[in-house]
Amino acid sequence: MKILTIHGPNLNLLGRREPEIYGSKTLDMINREIDRHGEALALATTCYQSNHEGEIIDWLQNAGKEGFSGIIINPAAFTHTSVAIRDAIAAIELPVIEVHLSNISAREDFRQKSLTAAVCRGSISGFGSTSYLVALETFKLLLKP
């Protein structure tokens, strides 16, 4: 089983951007954790990051054709603003799990509303990079062959 992880805008700045909120790990470190944990679970993992909404939508729409079984997405700021990403998630047949490093429910008012969560299979937030690993564990349970 193949799992696609999509990281949204500004996550390429992890490790130096507001570490008191997002932690000190870089995106490369998080991607290595995802790959190692996926391997331990017998899941093939691929990680992408983009600051561009259209590119994220293309990845969502093409994931099924590329043989992925599920998608983990951290839409970052697009969580609260992108109807287009929400609609792309709703339009595909693959299960999608939304993740966030911080607990968005405990953040600023404008960050507490997720436009994308309602069309995802579920959401995991507030556990730092472990949120991604919990999503992998969830897919291992959901996608039993």
Residue 76 token pair: 């970052």
SS3 at position 23: coil
Could you tell me how many residues make up the chain?
A: 145
Contacts of 137 (CB under 8 A, 6+ apart): 41
Residue 22: active-site member = yes
State the first-to-last Cα distance of the chain, in angstroms, to the nearest integer: 9
**Rg of the chain over all Cα atoms, to the nearest angstrom:** 14
Distance CA 93, CA 64 (A): 8
100 counts as catalytic: yes
| Catalytic machinery residues | 22, 100
